[in-house]
Amino acid sequence: MSEHHYIACDLGADSGRVILGTLKDGKVILEEVHRFPTGVSKVQGSFRWNVLRIFEELKAGLRKVAAKGISAESMSVDSWGVDYVYFNQRQPMLSLPYQYRDSRTDGPYAFALKEIGRDKIFSETGIQFMQINTFYQLISDVEQNGDIQGIADKFLCIADYLHYLFSGVVKQEISMASTTQVYNPRTRQWSQALIEAAGIPERLFPELVDSGTRLGCLTPALAEETGLPAIPVIATCSHDTGAAVAAVPAKGKGWAFLSSGTWSLIGVELSAPLINDTVLEDNFTNEAGYGGTTRFLKNIVGLWLLQESRREWIRQGQTISWDDLDSMAEESEPFRSLINPNDPRFLKPDLMPQKIADYCRETGQAVPETPGEVTRCIFESLALSYRQMLQKIEALTGEPITRVHMVGGGTKSPVLNQYAANGTGRTILTGPVEATACGNILIQALALGHIPSLDALRQTVADSFPIIEYKPQNGADWDRAYDHFCKLTSSI
């Protein structure tokens, strides 16, 4: 059977990887050839992405692939959503792009909800309200960075901006566009009504393309610099969650997905957007998926809570591995304290253990004091949040959910995986860890005609990686904890 090779440039909020994917005998093999930090830079009080450094790291990874002497047939970039870069014909970058946790959207978010209105914004986009969304960043630019917008030709979200640097083609892929809250999933175009209402220059919005579109080829200059041939640059699902969900190894009905990482994204795959008053009230989102599907989901603050806590402990001089935290959590008292992961205080960085302690103190609970107690608090709270969201999804869609496919870096924690099963009362199926890279690579294979369909893609994933099953345990204890959790989160 023929053998095919593809390059996935997979960017997360903490790290980026260049991964070589090989499709052979109906299975996909992943090889990480380069890893680097992507972390945010704090510049004069604002949070920014050093995208040009990321670009240099990706080129370094491409050179490592070329050095292997393997004939890669295409490449693609995926990244987190909502953030973007301005550029024009003469200048490839007009300012360092902001990171979504920057506080500049606080005022524009309140302004948009009041002056444009939740009903209008949601009816146009079907997207969950979060102040990190591109729409409020663009409104902030209208107010504070009009000079930059005035000389910009276009903006592109991070992955598609890197596609532009690699290929010279200016296009925005729709799974990424749908994260902006300026994309209309019914018309599959930018929302003219919101663009006009917010006063954002219409010329800034790039042409949209479907997932799996060949954009162009690696430019001659970059081919020479990296040692690769002028391979096709493909916009797979530029949004990392879109790529991850495409690679969920699921069949039939009755399943949900849970992408577990910095964010927890939990939802189901629908054939069309679900936009109505009840969905608006519950603040769910309709993001575009591969092949015209809709990812109907809730975005929950996820392992960011633990990542930030661990950063603080390390800053204080404690050396704690992820495995240590798993062990400490298991040894800690169950249900001692719970938090609402989506409380606004947890969105911003710094002093996370203190924020968690403050929340517990304010809600009359025992305060978690040790890393193990904090970790257990986070894991149990996330697991109960998953249950809450699954119940709401069942009510909104009218379809029962019996199993949850959990993918992403969070599945490396067997403790969290088991708590997710316990908390939801449903079977949890974990794997693959590298779902985003799998989706990126195998959508390239689809685009090049090496795989016939999305179903075949998912079967390839199922045949390539171990899927581990977790069954619910200690149901009565978790039911009591859930009642307490619902009281804490009654405001969401």
- Cβ-based neighbour number of residue 473 at 10 Å: 11
Q: How many CA atoms lie within 13 A of 164 on its CB side?
A: 25
Active site (annotated) includes residue 240: yes
268: number of CA atoms within 13 Å, CB side?
26
Cα 159 to Cα 173, 223, 268, 346, distances in angstroms? 9, 19, 24, 26
C-alpha to C-alpha distance for 390 and 306, rounded to whole angstroms: 23
Q: Is the distance from CB of 163 to CB of 171 less than 8 angstroms?
A: yes
Structural contact between residues 243 and 436, judged by C-beta atoms closer than 8 angstroms: yes
d(CA 124, CA 198): 13
CA 413, CA 422: separation in Å to the nearest integer?
A: 14
Do residues 80 and 302 lie in contact, with contact meaning Cβ atoms separated by under 8 Å?
no
Catalytic residue among 83, 240, 326, 343, which? 240
**DSSP state string for 181-246:** T-EETTTTEE-HHHHHHHT--GGGSPPEE-TTEEEEE--HHHHHHHS---PEEEES--BHHHHHHH
Q: Which two tokens stand for residue 257?
A: 């997905």
The alpha carbon dihedral of 22, 28, 29, 33 has a sign of positive
Annotate 145-178 with DSSP letters as a single string.
-HHHHHH-SEEEEHHHHHHHHHH----EEHHHHG
Residue reference for tokens 């809450």: 388
Q: Quick one: CA dihedral 90, 96, 101, 102, positive or negative? A: negative
How many residues would you count in the chain?
492
DSSP tally for the chain: helices H, then strands E: 19, 21
Q: Two tokens at 332? A: 């800690």
Which residues are catalytic, by number? Answer: 240
